[in-house]
Structure 1
């Protein structure tokens, strides 16, 4: 039996998402029969000390405070970007120019023009790309899409999507890179997940009517003063889908008490689905064909009958977690790098989401419906 080729990884950023990506790489290699052996080669952070600590904690062989040095390192095959949103473009373009595959956390870039430049550069270079929308890897979302496609809900009439958290709810919290106009705001930061889920389940969104609002207008700047906030705290949109369905989405990072409310409800002529990210091992299904007196939403629990749940746990109802979704995302990307499957959610898909975000922002400013090309 021949030994697997090695895929050497360079990671930029060691915060929440950097750690989640490391867990994804580690778990994917143990859970799935990958076409490569994954090697954590180099990690980059803002200082040499921080990078060295991350290397020791995460198991990287090397560390650096200069992410650019990884681009010229011929030993590294894949650059993984979990840095602040405004830095994605520069880092990704450098990696692409060096002929490396790129795994980039969402949003791909705060501007459509930047996302398009990144997408076109990757296509010209022939490298594989992945944007981090791991909620789409949930077996329950895949089940929901299968049920819709099979006609179990009948004609789809309505959709409601929501991604709400409270990590910006405290008005005394400091101004961060997410509040910088180059960072995007709540719609781009978490509303992008609601948009990606909506199209994953129902197909292309054809038109939007946006409403983006800033409710905390200034924040401490960390130097004893304050700084004006111009990005949205809440981004909402009415949606018209190409299949005729209508609905709405919301991205909200000041939703007090909410930690991970990535929810949707779908209404059809024969049934309905309801899902909550706070209980993401469950999908609730209502069938209008049930007998009178027996109707109501019934819970479908995640189990080995919903691949790839069984790779993680052989028992139904025992649940998988957020980092497991990262492992599923990694598995799909690695297979794409090997040429076995198409990119699960490459830069072109990330560009599509940013196109929707920008259309909603423009619609909000103009106070009018905008059509969005598929």
Structure 2
């Protein structure tokens, strides 16, 4: 049976742009996708950069004009992997053209913008996806199922952190991430910690209902690339205490100056009957503690990823051989394509992306006010 062709347009060829392409390429070989995919057009900042990216990534066409890409009648899905402040205009233009939109996180620096994007997509009836691919790890899905099934008992506490050191050098230049419109560390990577907290705990503990934030700027200024210095106003570290609907409490941290950390996305969940611990630095493992174990034999046991943790088995028939970062992107892309085909709901749509931005803004507001804030 011949599958319908789905034509992909990508804006941005950097780290996440490549990850999207790798995700599609892997997904085409691992999953029984509902479409045949065509890498149609890639847009970048100059014609030369776009042409070079098209050649290396396998796109048939290239352009320096992203507007021509999002309005092209030959493109079905627009992927946005550009600086955060550009997401809104690009997504709204694509939605107006009837395109499905796959946008990297954070969805938009402001909740008002994210809401406009979500409402526009819903009104147009297009399918959307926000790139929170860490949630696609089979071990996180397994952890969520354990929590929802009551294996940890009553959920009492949570700790989450996303820490990296890509901004730890004070001599590093001012970038789009340091612009007040860009969001800061909490929005940039703390959003992953928030998304993970609610993904795991919502079935058993409910959503986050209150936050107490502490957002700090440690590196006050940076080189502006023109021989001068520019003041930094966004947070280098964003932390928050959390309260969940069932009364459980917890904390999260987003930190881009965590010296020595390259990819720490960790969580711990504490319940009345057991606990879970996870680190992205060893993300094919989940550690489980059970109070049912006999005294003298208690301790965290390691659960290694394997074919029993879907969809690991589609990648490898042997347990313990491990998935990689781009495999998570493939899982995310495959689920989104199934949603476009109408086979399932969207895995993490713009409405869900709006929810994370609302949490980020509530934490920022709490930090400024020095008090707890309710989250609607």
Fold conserved (TM > 0.5)?
yes
Deviation string for 1:121-148 (max 9, x for gaps)? 0011000000000000000001111111
Deviation string for 1:15-59 (max 9, x for gaps)? 000000000010111100010011100000001111001000000
Residue 269 of structure 2 is matched in structure 1 by 266
Residue 305 (str. 1) matches residue 304 (str. 2): no
Give yes or no for contact 2:44–2:63 (8 Å, CA) kept in 1. Answer: yes
Partner residue of 2:236 out of 233, 255, 266 = 233
Residue 35 of structure 2 is matched in structure 1 by 36
Distance in 1 (alpha carbons) for counterparts of 2:25 and 2:38 = 9
Distance in 1 (alpha carbons) for counterparts of 2:71 and 2:85 = 22
Q: How does 1:159-308 map to 2 (within 5 A)?
A: 159-203=158-202, 204-308=207-311
Gaps of 5+ in 1: none
Q: How does 1:80-229 map to 2 (within 5 A)?
A: 80-203=79-202, 204-229=207-232
Distance in 2 (alpha carbons) for counterparts of 1:352 and 1:38 = 30
Give yes or no for contact 2:71–2:93 (8 Å, CA) kept in 1. Answer: no
Residue 342 of structure 1 is matched in structure 2 by 345
Partner residue of 1:368 out of 364, 367, 371 = 371
Distance in 2 (alpha carbons) for counterparts of 1:27 and 1:71 = 25
Residue 333 of structure 1 is matched in structure 2 by 336
Runs of 4+ in 1 over 2 A off after TM superposition: none
* 1:205 CA drift (Å): 0.3
Deviation string for 1:56-77 (max 9, x for gaps)? 0000000000010012211100
Distance in 2 (alpha carbons) for counterparts of 1:219 and 1:346 = 35
Residue 49 of structure 1 is matched in structure 2 by 48
SS at match of 2:177: coil
Aligned CA RMSD, in angstroms, stands at: 0.5
Distance in 1 (alpha carbons) for counterparts of 2:230 and 2:313 = 49
Distance in 1 (alpha carbons) for counterparts of 2:246 and 2:304 = 29
Distance in 1 (alpha carbons) for counterparts of 2:135 and 2:103 = 15
Gaps of 5+ in 2: none
* 1:243 CA drift (Å): 1.9
Distance in 2 (alpha carbons) for counterparts of 1:76 and 1:290 = 56
Residue 63 (str. 1) matches residue 62 (str. 2): yes
Distance in 1 (alpha carbons) for counterparts of 2:330 and 2:132 = 12
Distance in 1 (alpha carbons) for counterparts of 2:3 and 2:70 = 24
Give yes or no for contact 2:30–2:315 (8 Å, CA) kept in 1. Answer: yes
Residue 23 of structure 2 is matched in structure 1 by 24
Distance in 2 (alpha carbons) for counterparts of 1:135 and 1:82 = 16
Deviation string for 1:84-130 (max 9, x for gaps)? 00000000000000000000000000000000000000011000000
* 1:244 CA drift (Å): 1.7
SS at match of 1:306: coil
Give yes or no for contact 2:264–2:279 (8 Å, CA) kept in 1. Answer: yes
Aligned residue pairs total: 372
